Amino acid sequence: MTYHKAKKVVIIAEKMLSEKICRIIDASGARGYTVVPAGGRGAHHKHYTSERASVVDDFATVRIEVVVNNKTTAEEIGNQVVEQCFDKYSGIVYLEDVEVLRPGKFGGK
């Protein structure tokens, strides 16, 4: 089997933004994404993971990962997320090079 080069976009944001971010990803032509609960420390305050009750659950953070076949789509997702979500809320976006099997499973315009 051959591995193909692809791009992974990683977005760490407040949980309440995840719906909006997933809509951006869907619109980009990507074929799917993964959302996992995150936790740790950011510029503003400590974010807890689900191991501990937090009265305000929506301020917990999530890590959203999406793999696409080309750099342009990846960059476009990142740009859209920053423009639409991170003007008022905090969060980070970064790209990673990955190698994937079955490139047909990953979209991208």
Q: What is the DSSP string of 18-79?
A: HHHHHHHHHHHT----EEEEE-EE-SS-EE--TTS--S-GGGSEEEEEEEESSHHHHHHHHH
Per-position x/- string for 13-32, each x denoting binding to other proteins as judged by CB under 8 A, each - no binding: -x-x----------------
Q: Does 58 bind other proteins (CB under 8 A)?
A: yes
- Please report how close the Cβ of residue 31 comes to other proteins at its closest, in angstroms: 29
Task: Name the site residues for other proteins (rule: CB under 8 A).
Answer: 14, 16, 44-45, 50-59, 88-89
